Amino acid sequence: MFRTAKLIRETLRAGTAVNGTSEAARLMRSGRLMEATSALQERLGGGLPTSRGSMPAGFTMPAGFTMPGPRGAGARTSDRAPGTVTRGSAGGLAYRLYVPTGAPTLGAPLLVMLHGGTQDADAFAACTGMDEAAERAGVVVAYPEQSRSANAMGYWNWFRPGDQARDAGEPAMIAAVTRAVTAQHGVDPARIAVAGFSAGAAMAAVMTATYPDLFCGAGVHSGLPHGAARDVGSAFAAMSSPPRTVTDAGPVPLIVVHGDADRTVAAGNGEAVVRAALVAKGATEHVRETGRTEGGRGWTRERWSEPGGRVLAESWTVHGMGHEWSGGRAGEKYADPTGPDVATAMFAFFGFTTTGVHQDREVG
C-alpha cells in the first residue's frame, strides 16, 4: 500500500501541468488510494506519458506494481468480423494481426495500428472497430503492442529523443513489425499505412517522419506532431499548449482527426500536425466541407492538395467530441460511436477502398 501511495504522489507531481489531477489528490489525502489511481488514469486517458526511463528524478516503479487497465483489455478475438486473428512478434514487439476473409494471397494493403496508453492490441481493435472496416475493405491490419517493461502503462515513448529517430528505439521496432508482416503475408509494399490514437497517433507521426519510404500515408487521431516534446515535462506542456512551430513531417500524406472538446490532448495539436504536413509543400488547393452524422456529431473536413491534385493532408474536426476514437464501437472505452466513421475515411484516404464515408455534407 505504501508503494502504491508513493507511485500516485510521484505521478501527481509529474502531472501538475495537466488539469484534473486535483480529484486524484483529494482522494489520496482521504486514503482512497485505488480510487485515486483510477481517477488519475481516467482523467489522463490515452495521453499520459509515464515511461520508466522518464519518471521524476529519484523515482522508480515499485516491483510488481501494475496500473489498472481499461475495460475489456483482456485477451479476445475479433467478435464482429469473420477474418482470422493471429499473434506474432518481430523486432522485440508482440503484435496482433487481422487478415480479412477473401484477402488476396499477394498484394493486399496493410494498415499498422498503434494503440493509445493503457490499451493493448485487443482493446484498440475493439475500440476502433478497425477489424470490421478492414473486412469490408480487404485490408490486413497489424496491431503492434507496446511492452509494459518499456512503459508501465503501455504508452509509446513518442516524447523521448531515443524513440524519435530512424533505426533506433521504438520506430525501428515498429518498422520491423511492418516489414515482417509484409514479407510473411505478401502485402503490397506500395500500399502500407500507419495510424494511431493519442500516444499511438504521436508515434504514427514519428513513423512518417523517420520512415517515409515505408508508408504511403498516415492517420493521426487525437495526437501530436513529431518533435513536439523531448521529455515528460515538455510532453505535458505540448498536450496542453500545442507547439506554435513545427518541423517538416516529410512527404507522407496525413489524415488528421481531433475532437474540438478534447481535454487530454488539446485540439490545436491536430492543427499543428496539419501544419507539419504542409511545411514547404506548396499546397495550392484547399477544400472545406461540413456535415453531420445521422443522429450524431457535426464535423468539418478540410483537404489541402498540391499542383497536380495529390492530397497532402486531410483534417477532420469532430465537434463536441473529447479524447475518443470517432465512429468507434459503442460501449468501448475511448470510443465515440456518434462521430463520423474515420476508420472508413482513413482507408479511403489511403486509397485502400473506393468506399466513401456516408454522411450528410455541404461544401463550404
Catalytic residues: 198
Asked whether the beta carbons of 140 and 184 are under 8 A apart, the reply is no
For residues 20 and 29, give the distance between their C-alpha atoms in angstroms, rounded to a whole number. 15
Asked whether the beta carbons of 326 and 257 are under 8 A apart, the reply is yes
Residue 275's CB is within 10 A of a number of other CB atoms, namely 17
CA R_g for the chain: 19
Between vectors from CA 208 to CA 247 and to CA 325, what angle results, nearest 5°? 100
- Those residues with Cβ within 8 angstroms of residue 345's Cβ, 6 or more apart along the chain or in another chain: 255, 257, 314, 316, 357
Element (H, E) at 304: strand 298-305
Per-residue three-class SS string for 96-128: EEEECCCCCCCCEEEEEEECCCCCCHHHHHHHH
SS3 274: helix
Structure-derived torsion over alpha carbons of residues 76, 113, 132, 120, reported in degrees to the nearest 10: 20
Going by C-alpha positions, the residue among 289, 48, 288, 7 that lies closest to residue 158 is 48
Asked whether the beta carbons of 24 and 36 are under 8 A apart, the reply is yes
